[in-house]
Amino acid sequence: MTEVLLQVRAIGKRFDVGAGRFQARARASIQALSDVDLDLASGQALGLVGESGSGKSTLARILVGLEQPSKGSVRLDGVELTTLSRAAWRPFRKRIQMVFQDCAGSLDPRQSVRSALLEPYRIHGLYSARERDMRCMELLEAVGLGAEHWNRFPHELSGGQRQRVAIARALALEPQILILDEPVSALDSSMRAQILNLLIELKRRFHLACLFVAHDLFAVQALCEHIAVMYMGRIVEVAPTGALFANPLHPYTQALLSAVPFADPQVEQQRRRIVLQGEPPSPMDLPPGCAFAARCPTKHSIDARLCEGDRPLLKGCDETGLRQAACHAVVTQGSQS
Amino acid sequence: MTLLEVRNLRLRFDTKDGPLQVLDEISFKLEAGETLAMVGESGSGKSLTALTLMGLLPPGAIIETGEVLLEGRNLLTLSARQWRSVRGRELAMVYQDANSALHPLLTVGEQLAEAILAHRKESPSEVRKACASALGEVGISAPEARLDAYPHELSGGMRQRVVIAMALLARPKVLIADEPTTAVDVTMQAQILELLEHLRAKYSMAVLLVTHDLGVVARAAQKVAVVYAGRTVELATTKELFQTPLHPYSVGLLRSAPSEAAQSMASVLAASPSQGPTQSPSQAPARLFSIPGMAPSPARMPVGCAFHPRCPFEVARCSRERPELKAWRVEVPSNMHTGLVTATSRRAACFEQERVAAAAVASRTGWHELEQLWLAKMEPRT
């Protein structure tokens, strides 16, 4: 097993709603994340999937310090990041970088590609002017752009090219960890494949640890060795990518995979499809038991009161501990066999 | 009679830099009770075709030639007044972004009522009843109570349902759905597609599904129109297209869809759920295929076939002449396992479609060779 670079333990995040300038006390609070554990190892990518509102992006933002967790710890090489001051964060920014979904929004429209790429060096006061330029050219080349893009502005680039610039900028400081928040979901299918290929290549070349947040399961599959599935702010299943696709354990994962349409009409006709009924519970008022219980199709196979009253914990489901699921039904099944 | 037929639709914008040919012979037919998917990259003219069908063209758009026949009546000759009785009543549209399709300051009930009152006079209580039943029909629970909700009080999936309910109020013959599931996640997408399917079957409505997701096509459509650079390049049933694509662009498009993963996953999901956890090593990620090059911009359309600069099957003729979309008799294997070959009539706009068909069939086993051919073609250009 490769060494763990980033260790996330028991992260919880609550947002207060209603508190503001004219109202001191919060009217309610939203539990965006609870008890999230995960590890990122160098050269490995972890995919984080789940429906919108499941807390994926909040977690990503906590890891890069854009958001403070309400509880829990994030450790990089043993150093606790969540309690760092802004100034103390700065050296760690070099090691953790983020690529956002909306590349049009993450690039300054009045800043040329060159200036956008030089900015990280300016901020951190690294290298001489000549060396900065040289490094920028190398970066452009690494992401498949050339000297002709050097002086262009974001509006002169296509969506895919803008995302390449955003990736190049994230790589400028030679980070060890790259947090990717839906980097391909705004792109259409052919562009998506190109950017994914680029990410696969960069990950290998720079031995990056990646957290890939996405709702597109196929995109995640292309890049990641492991996948974590989130539902209502909790991780409900973690598994190696192949194993998760071949044999999803958590009923929510099963429903999620069965909802993905396949580009094959024959498969589409034959496959067993689980269409979840109803809507997810409100994050302001989460049920005491399993958050998925109300929509769960397999709940009735075991004692439903257990699911509604007792929150299942993420537990290892095989000898290696690589597969984990948070479901009463799965754990029962495992102990019987 | 065909319910809706679009014939050789050509549309351009005149700009100060010269004319932009954005639609260049779009053709397809849609029968009652059937779903036709229009697929293509962004910028290929899918959404503009949908807007033409609704009579909602942006200012400056000039229709050069073509017909849009709804039960034999050409919609392109209608006056603005006549359009009003057609739009919403005979053809209705569901937009991609349910957020901007709903007015944020009006309740769901008020917006639905507006759609009813635009077409007929009814008493307030009847309107309210009709609105509630429309919401019930699209699977919204407690529809009476939801009538007084504002759009921001609903989840994304529910907003999309409200938009669908609104489109269905006047029982249109044709429903145009422009990327109805792009803005929602997979679980919601499955629900929306299921709903559209249910409504299509119940009212034998025709659905034109605009999408770039081949998974959605495979799940929801019976027929497909593949468009490239404003032109229909292939028309086929979904089954035919996925089995033997005849246009090189269709071949590339199908190939860039993640179907191998789908296969392995599907075989497991189709069977009964397996017992207990299984072990499988985490494999190294492989490269994904995407058609090399970029779609041409309407300002710089290649002469001849618009796809020829990206096409591995290009011959000399392709950069001079433009292939027409016409019916071909092709021999395709009807059964992969027995190797039985049948001749069928198919429509594609390609000079070399027999070579393409042969390569597409071969590529099911030896895709690697075709991919090399494709990549080799692009190398000297980049």
Cα dihedral: A196, A199, A201, A205 (round 10): -170
pTM: 0.83
d(CA A226, CA B278): 15
Angle between helices B108-117 and B124-137 in degrees, nearest 10: 110
Pairing of strands B326-333, B73-74: unpaired
> What backbone phi and psi angles, to 5 degrees, belong to A326?
-110, 80
Residue (of A37, A40, A33, A36) closest to A58 by Cα position: A33
Contact of B142 with B153, CB cutoff 8 Å: no
Residue A304 CA from chain centroid, whole number: 31
Give me the residues of B, 58-87, that contact A with CB < 8 A. none
**Per-residue model confidence as pLDDT tens digits over B16-69:** 888 889 999 999 999 999 999 999 888 888 889 999 999 988 888 999 999 999
- pLDDT category, B274, cuts 50, 70, 90? very low
Identity of residue A150: W
- What single DSSP character describes residue B290? -
At residue B345, does pLDDT exceed 80?
no
Counting as low any pLDDT under 70, the low residues of chain A are 1-2, 18-26, 299-301, 331-337
- Do residues B28 and B90 lie in contact, with contact meaning Cβ atoms separated by under 8 Å? no
* CA distance linking residue B23 with residue B16, whole number of Å: 19
Interface contact B280-A246, CB threshold 8 A: yes
Instruction: Locate B185 and state its tokens.
Output: 């996640």
Higher pLDDT, B172 or B121: B172
pLDDT classification of B337: cutoffs 50, 70, 90? low
Q: Tokens representing B219? A: 């799940």
Q: How far is B84 from chain A (nearest CA, A)?
A: 34
Helix (H, G, I), strand (E, B) or coil at A31: strand
Check: CB of residue B361 under 8 Å from CB of residue B296: no
pLDDT at A215: 81
CATH of domain B2-221: 3.40.50.300
B28 class by beta-carbon count within 10 Å (0-12 exposed, 13-18 middle, 19+ buried) = buried
Window B:194-253, CB contacts with A under 8 Å? 194, 212-220, 238-239, 242, 253
What pLDDT is stored for residue B63 in this prediction? 93
**What region, left, alpha or beta, does residue B193 occupy, with left being phi > 0 and alpha being psi -120 to 50 degrees?**
alpha
Q: What share of chain B in percent tops pLDDT 70?
A: 86
Out of A240, A263, A317, closest to residue B218 by CB: A263
* Cα–Cα distance for residue pair B158/A279, rounded to 1 Å: 9
Q: B105: pLDDT confidence band, cut at 50, 70 and 90?
A: very high
Distance from CA of B216 to the nearest CA of A (A): 6
Whether residue A62 contacts residue A183, with contact meaning beta carbons closer than 8 Å, is answered with no
Residues B287 and A197 sit within 8 Å (Cβ to Cβ): yes
- Between CA B256 and CA A187 the distance in angstroms is 14
Q: B258 versus B10: which is more confidently predicted?
A: B10
Q: Is the pLDDT of residue B365 over 80?
A: no
What count of CB pairs under 8 Å joins A to B? 171
pLDDT score recorded for residue B59: 87
The pLDDT value recorded for residue A336 is: 42
Q: Cβ(B108)–Cβ(B149) under 8 Å?
A: yes
Task: Give the separation between CA B162 and CA B106, rounded to whole angstroms.
Answer: 13
DSSP letters spanning A104-125? HHHS-TTS-HHHHHHHHHHHHT
Do B119 and B84 contact (CB within 8 A), yes or no? Answer: no
- Sequence-separated (6 or more) residues with CB below 8 Å from residue A335: none
Per-residue pLDDT at B273 exceeds 50: no
Residue A310's pLDDT is what? Answer: 86
3-state SS, residue B349: coil
Give B227's contacts in chain A (Cβ within 8 Å).
none
Residues 22-51 of B with CB under 8 A from A: 41-42
Which alpha helices (H) appear in chain B, and where do they start and end? 46-53, 80-86, 98-101, 108-117, 124-137, 143-146, 156-168, 186-203, 214-220, 238-243, 248-256, 259-270, 353-378
B185, B218, B275 member nearest A52 (Cβ): B185
Of B71, B74, B72, B73, the closest CA to residue B63 belongs to: B74
Question: What pLDDT was estimated at residue A212?
Answer: 95
Handedness of CA A60, A66, A70, A74 (dihedral sign): positive
When the pLDDT of each residue in chain B is averaged and rounded to a whole number, the result is 83
Instruction: Output the pLDDT for position B316.
Output: 92
* Per-residue pLDDT tens digits for B236-245: 999 889 888 8
Q: Confidence band (pLDDT; 50, 70, 90) for B269?
A: very low
* Residue from B240, B269, B287, B371 to probe the interface with A (highest A Cβ count within 10 Å): B269
Give the closest of A254, A258, A264 to B218, CB-based.
A264
Could you identify the residue written with the tokens 């992260």?
A11
Q: For strand B35-39 and strand B223-228, is the pairing parallel, antiparallel, or unpaired?
A: parallel
Q: How far apart are the first and last CA of chain A?
A: 27
Q: Which one-letter amino acid corresponds to residue B300?
A: R
Q: What pLDDT is stored for residue B284 in this prediction?
A: 44
The partner residues of A8 in beta bridges, in order of sequence, read A38, A74
- B382 interfacial to chain A (CB closer than 8 Å): no
Contact A241 B282 (CB under 8 A): yes
Identify the closest residue of chain B to A268 by CA–CA distance. Answer: B219
CA distances, A38 to each of A58, A63, A69, A83, A324 (Å): 14, 11, 15, 19, 11
Rounded CA-CA distance B192/A275 in Å is 10
Task: Give me the helix-helix angle, A189-206 and B248-256, nearest 10°.
Answer: 50
- B140, B152, B187, best to mutate vs chain A, most A CBs in 10 Å: B187
- In a mutagenesis test of the B interface, which of A180, A237, A260 is the best target, namely the one with the most B β-carbons within 10 Å? A260
Q: Does the ipTM exceed 0.90?
A: no
B123 touches A: beta carbon within 8 Å? no
What is residue B77's predicted lDDT score, i.e. its pLDDT?
Answer: 92
Domain segments of chain B: what residues? 2-221, 238-378
B61 contacts B13 by C-beta, under 8 angstroms: yes
Which pLDDT value is given to residue B370? Answer: 78
* Chosen from A2, A156, A271, A296 to mutate, greatest number of chain B CBs within 10 A: A271
Contact B275/A at CB under 8 A: yes
The pLDDT value given to residue B276: 34
B184 → chain A, closest CA residue: A52
Distance from CA of B131 to the nearest CA of A (A): 21
Q: Report DSSP letters for B143-164, one per residue.
A: HHHHTT--GGGS-HHHHHHHHH
pLDDT of the residue at B277: 35
**Side chain identity at residue A42, one-letter code:** S
- Report yes or no: B337 at the A interface, CB cutoff 8 Å: no
Residue type at B316 in one-letter notation: A
Question: Mutating which of B288, B307, B378 best tests the A interface, going by the most A Cβ atoms within 10 A?
Answer: B288
Cβ(A220)–Cβ(A199) below 8 Å: no
CB distance B114 to B101 below 8 Å: no
What is the H or E stretch that residue A135 is in?
helix A129-142
Q: Per-residue pLDDT tens for B312-321?
A: 888 999 999 9
**Four-CA torsion A153, A156, A161, A166, nearest 10 degrees:** 20
Q: Are B215 and B257 in contact (CB under 8 A)?
A: yes
Mark yes or no for CB contact A226/B282 under 8 Å. yes
Residues of B in contact with A161 (CB under 8 A): none
Interchain CB contact of B155 with A (< 8 Å): yes
- List CB contacts of A173: < 8 A, sequence separation 6 or more: A93, A94, A95, A97, A120, A121, A124, A126
Sequential DSSP letters for B163-202: HHHHHHTT--SEEEEESTTTTS-HHHHHHHHHHHHHHHHH
Nearest residue in A to B194, CA atom: A275
